[in-house]
Structure 1
Amino acid sequence: MASFPPDTLFPPVPTPCHGETTITPALFDLSGKTAVVTGGNGGIGSGMARGLAEAGADVIIIQIPGDATAFPGQLAEQTGRRVVAYDCDLGSNDDIRRTVSDILERDGRVVDVLCNVAGITGGFVPVLTETDAHRELVTQIHFHAVYLLSQLFGRHMAARGLGGKIINISSLTAERAMTRFSVYGPLKAAVGQLTNSLANELGVYNIQVNALYPGWIHTPLSQKTVDNEELSNRIVAAVPAGRWGKPQDFKGVTVFLASSASDYVTGARIYVDGGTHSM
């Protein structure tokens, strides 16, 4: 493959091995860091946001406009970290640009970690009755928004010259074709390839980009499936860990990928699925 030099607007920076100078527990300490988590008010995003805050990071949650959840305030009170929420319609690139500008320029926040987590129900639509409107919305939320946020915050990280971390959420459906997931699955596969591209291009700026591949996780988006006892039992029977995953299962791996402990890990696919991918 062709290898191109880095963008001249953003000079390369050293990529140190912090393990040479830092004891192991301190490698996972996120004190002084700020992380942006899209969809951080619920589901997988809430587990990731909690892990980051408990490890010492301040957290910026990008939420659906008008979301009245008390989660940000509760997380701040429970962890002692600064947790704030910004309204943003991820269905609009203009709104994404406005929100990022508000965070970085208007409010002067410095962002070290970006977690692209927010999603919508993209499956259970038969391919023969899929609509342009639904397909385009799923594409916008699950790919275009991820790309644009990674570009904008990646530019911020590269300009600072201090490195950074980007964590994307893909899915097992990216690798296992499922009935009525003709849009969601291929888009999650695209997120995996985007992660590889970003890892290759941003590595010279000491920015690591990795992807998590969730399996069957009990979130509000999966509640109907959990409530279907017969279907839920079949799913659990196929999970080596023998249970549905929980948002809290993402705390540890998120802290690892957001911290200096993963400075030499980039372009990786990490399955958080109780072993389902191995079946």
Structure 2
Amino acid sequence: MQIIRQKAALRALTETWRRAGETIGVVPTMGALHAGHLSLVAAARARTDHVIVTLFVNPRQFNNPEDLAKYPRTEESDAEKLAPFGIDLLYIPEPDEIYPEGFATTVSVSGVSDGLCGATRPGHFDGVATVVTKLLLQTDADRAFFGEKDYQQLQVVKRLATDLDLKTEIVGCPTIREDDGLAMSSRNLRLGAGPRETAPVIGRVLTTAAKAIARGENPAQALDTAREALLSAGFDSIDYLELRSDPDFQLMTKADRPARLFLAAWLDGVRLIDNVAVAGRQKVESSEDQPFEPA
């Protein structure tokens, strides 16, 4: 596994792969890698000839400077975690490789970026869209792999790739969860011991609400019950808990087409997000049979 920090060296390498007629996969990350990231790496390894993992903590997608400062930087351990996967390249660009002096362009995706994290974190998706566009172009990737935990982000990236005629296929991969059902996230590392025990309530509450809605319960009632359960469990506040259509994110009052429940909640000063699919009006398993739905 090579480590490259300059885009000129990156392009020199990818050009040799292109001349050989080989395909390139990329997994964009901000580091602090966990099993969720590594599942994306495995998917890329299975579907492309060469795999690039990018590691860049993107300042333009953080609304809060304190949040940016606290984001874990674990380059050495990230490289160790990637070693068993046989990837070709870890691309860790210097800041001026992404945002050189005089940089003045922003990629903004409307529609799917409205609401949810787009409403509660103004400018966040502009930062995401801009850096992802640059990374896809710099790596010349045929396929890029993103997790469904950040489902709104996944749809933003799909939209920009389509609208900008990028050749890269955007591949969504299932959310990976801890044994207790908590969706894996680099932010989980910032939870204290007690709050970490509380955090899996998210998965249980969302799953219970999704099953209730699928059985025909009024979504507003199911969401009210879910909010009460989260706050009673010790969550500090809830940015949003909403039922929206999939994949266009329209607010829904009944689950009469593909839908998901989306949540962003604060616990121990950490903002956690998750989502679960909601089945149509049909018979579903009990929560005891299947305590956590893959998102």
- Larger C-alpha radius of gyration, 1 or 2? 2
Whether TM exceeds 0.5 here: the answer is no
Into which bin does the TM-score normalised by the smaller protein fall?
0.3 to 0.5
TM-score scaled by length of structure 1:
0.38
Instruction: Specify which structure has the higher proportion of helix.
Output: 1
Instruction: Specify which structure has the higher proportion of strand.
Output: 2
